[in-house]
Amino acid sequence: MDIAVINIKGKETGKKVSVPVLLSESAPNDHTIWLDVKHYLAAQRQGTHKAKEKSEMAYSTKKIKKQKGTGGARAGSIKSGVFVGGGRIFGPRPRDYSFKLNKKVKQLARRSAIAYKLKDNSLIFIEDFSLTAPKTKEFSSILKNLSLDSSKTLFLLAGSDNLKNISLSSRNLPNAKVINVSDLNTYEIMNAEKLVIGETALESLIDLIS
């Protein structure tokens, strides 16, 4: 499958990119996508939640009433979780939510996510471009030229010194995100409506998902 390469003005350059069979003919695997997205989101969690339990409450441990003869249930320390102001029973504790995911599973997940974008005609190849300085206005005009100003778009570009200027130019635009192809993850692909890949970033992308 060949896809035309366009420039930042939205015009075809006459060049075409050959999409590998690995992407064009592979059946997406939904379960690996779910696993990799779950893996990414779990790693974002701080896990610093904490509630005081019975042993951590700063109350007296004196028995609050006699064991029998009150007509009510027996009760001991006021720290008990059954009383207002008492400790939390089985409350949350700090923990690490991250978990290990095999490299092959991540590769299949990214490959499947890109395959979905390909099937939905949401994959665009763009000619390499540069910005001399971080300017949101220039990047915004590029999005308008590509008819992407109203779509949530992810740009995958090859690593270079100029990538910083492009990334900074897109930072204030809510519907656009620019990342180095080496930092690609399944969540970012699935979260975007359109995927724009730089012409020279394709080779690095194939190495990442193969």
Residues 21-30 have pLDDT tens digits of: 777 777 899 9
pLDDT score of 159? 72
Mean pLDDT of 118-134: 90
Residues whose CB is less than 8 angstroms from the CB of residue 21 and which lie 6 or more positions away in sequence, other chains included: none
* Domains: count for the chain: 2
**Where is 178: in which H helix or E strand?**
strand 176-180
User: What are the distances in angstroms from CA 171 to CA 67, 159, 167, 177?
Assistant: 65, 17, 6, 7
State whether 71 and 173 are in the same domain. Answer: no
- Judgement on whether residues 159 and 192 belong to the same structural domain of the protein: yes
Ranges 7-21, 103-117, 138-152: which has the least confidence: 7-21
Asked if 63 and 162 sit in the same domain, the reply is no
Domain with 170, as residue range(s), is: 2-45+97-209
List the CATH number of the domain containing 38: 3.40.1370.10
Residues 134 and 184 grouped into a single domain: yes
Q: What is the mean pLDDT of residues 141-152?
A: 92
Q: Check: CB of residue 15 under 8 Å from CB of residue 5.
A: yes
Q: Categorise residue 200: left if φ over 0, alpha if ψ from -120 to 50, beta otherwise.
A: alpha
Residue 208 confidence (pLDDT): 83
Check: CB of residue 61 under 8 Å from CB of residue 87. no
164-202 per-position pLDDT tens digit: 899 999 999 999 999 999 899 999 999 999 999 988 888
Structure confidence by residue, pLDDT tens digits, 33-56: 999 999 999 999 999 999 999 999
Q: Are 195 and 172 in contact (CB under 8 A)?
A: no
Within this chain, do residues 126 and 195 fall inside the same structural domain, yes or no? yes
- Beta-ladder partners of 4: 16
Whether residue 37 is found in the same domain as residue 89: no
Q: Are residues 36 and 72 in the same domain?
A: no
State mean pLDDT over 45-74.
93
105 and 134 in a single domain? The answer is yes
Indicate whether 26 and 54 sit together in one domain.
Answer: no
Average pLDDT over residues 126-142: 91
Query: Are 136 and 192 part of one and the same domain?
Result: yes
pTM above 0.85, yes or no: no
The three-class DSSP label of residue 143 is helix
Nearest to residue 80, comparing CAs of 102, 106, 54, 59?
Answer: 54
Distance separating alpha carbons of residues 149 and 137, to the nearest angstrom: 12
